[in-house]
Amino acid sequence: MGESLAKSLTGTPTPYNPGHWFNSAKFFDIEYQTYGWVFPTLKDNEADFYWEHSDGNKCVHIVFDKNTRTFIGINTFGIRMRHDSFNHWLNENSSVEHVLEHLKDANFDPEFYQQFEGEIIQKFNLEHKTNIKLKEKSWKRLLTYLAR
């Protein structure tokens, strides 16, 4: 917003483009993040997926278009996720399946933290009758997310 204002005030009118909605917060020691749009009530064209860890301190809620399978947004609680990954997938109108198979690219938890992507995908596959295979994290892919 500030950059758009500065350019506009100095003679180069620049529209403000806020990009995709995101919010990141920390409640005591638990991370909470939202990327894209995840409303409390689904719209007519939306479907969702919810995974919660057995400890009750980690969950993922994903919303996608039920007709096109386009990823719309995600809430995470207790798992740190990388903003650039979700921003890239939202810009590319990626499918929910693509997001899930590359979910390791988005994980931003510190080293040696337990990873839950396999559990998340297993539950999604079971509930949505898919056969998504988790891909390994790729730093090369992560750098392309930043380049765009």
pLDDT value of residue 123: 97
Q: How confident is the model at residue 115, as a pLDDT? A: 85
Inside any domain, residue 62:
yes
Q: How far apart are CA 106 and CA 99, in angstroms?
A: 9
Q: Average the pLDDT over 69-78 and give the result.
A: 96
Instruction: Kindly report, residue by residue over 8-49, the tens digit of the pLDDT.
Output: 889 988 887 777 888 888 878 778 999 999 999 999 999 999
Report the alpha-carbon distance of residue 34 to residue 86 in Å, rounded.
Answer: 10
Query: Domain for residue 110, yes or no?
Result: yes
Residue 92: DSSP 8-state: T
Question: For the ranges 3-12, 23-32, 54-63, 138-147, which has the lowest average pLDDT?
Answer: 138-147
Q: What is the CATH number of the domain that holds 54?
A: 3.30.390
Nearest to 37 by CA among 58, 54, 69, 61: 61
Question: Model pTM greater than 0.75?
Answer: yes
Number of domains in the chain: 1
Whether residue 12 is contained in a domain is answered as: no
In whole angstroms, give the CA distance from residue 23 to residue 42: 19
Q: Is residue 129 part of a domain?
A: yes
> Is the residue at 7 inside a domain?
no
pLDDT in tens, 44-55: 999 999 999 999
14 Cα distance to chain centroid = 28
Q: How many whole angstroms separate alpha carbon 24 and alpha carbon 67?
A: 29
Rounded percentage of the chain residues whose pLDDT exceeds 90: 58
* Domain boundaries, position 111: 20-147
